[in-house]
Amino acid sequence: MKRLVVYYSLSGNTKNAAEKIAGMLDADIMKLETVKPMPKSFAAQIIVGGGQVALKHVPEIKPLEKDPAQYDEIILGTPIWNSKGVPAVNAFLKDKDAAAKVTSVFILSGGGEIGKCVDALAAQLPNLKNKVSLLDKKHEASKENDTKISQFADAVKAGAE
């Protein structure tokens, strides 16, 4: 089975998880990037990103480096902004064929509730089977991320058998 890990990351937390998951699944990896970059300062990122989520803004993303049509399965990674997945992920999911290939999601949280994010993603992902919540590296409980990632990768593999 040919797999693609697709993710969006500003601080590197989601990127780190994506790289680990791709390695465990022997999958290709692709970062989503918006045409208009986010501000550099963390405070401005919170204001702009949270505002985009609240207003349901879907930004334009840069051309994809890989063609999702060439893959059997997509594993999607997103941080949580304002209790939802990031707008760049929503832009990617506008491609209904790609959304239909997403079977698994990994979500990075700064410590907040992930339920709203999972619900919003599940509504767009008809074939969602696996999900895992990971914590920002600043949190004590983030020590469990590697174990959770390993269990998640095993579940993704088991779903393909």
| Domain boundaries along the sequence of the chain | 3-160
Q: When comparing pLDDT for 121 and 83, which is higher?
A: 121
- With cut-offs at 50, 70 and 90, classify the pLDDT of residue 54: low
Q: When comparing pLDDT for 54 and 36, which is higher?
A: 36
What pLDDT score was predicted for residue 61?
84
Which uninterrupted H or E stretch holds 109? strand 102-109
What pLDDT score was predicted for residue 51?
60
pTM of the entire predicted model: 0.86
Token readout for 151 is: 């269990």
Token readout for 20 is: 């680990």
- Contact (CB, 8 A) for 39 and 10: no
Domain 3-160 has CATH 3.40.120.10: no
**Residue whose entry in the numeric block shows the structure tokens 């698994």:** 104
What pLDDT score was predicted for residue 82?
61
Q: When comparing pLDDT for 108 and 59, which is higher?
A: 108
What pLDDT score was predicted for residue 98?
92
Q: What is the mean pLDDT of the chain?
A: 84
Token readout for 104 is: 């698994």
pLDDT in tens, 112-151: 666 777 778 888 899 999 999 887 776 666 678 889 999 9
Q: When comparing pLDDT for 95 and 141, which is higher?
A: 95
Instruction: Please check the confidence at residue 99 and state whether its pLDDT lies above 70.
Output: yes
Looking at residue 4, the DSSP 8-state letter turns out to be: E
Question: For 2-27, what is the mean pLDDT?
Answer: 94
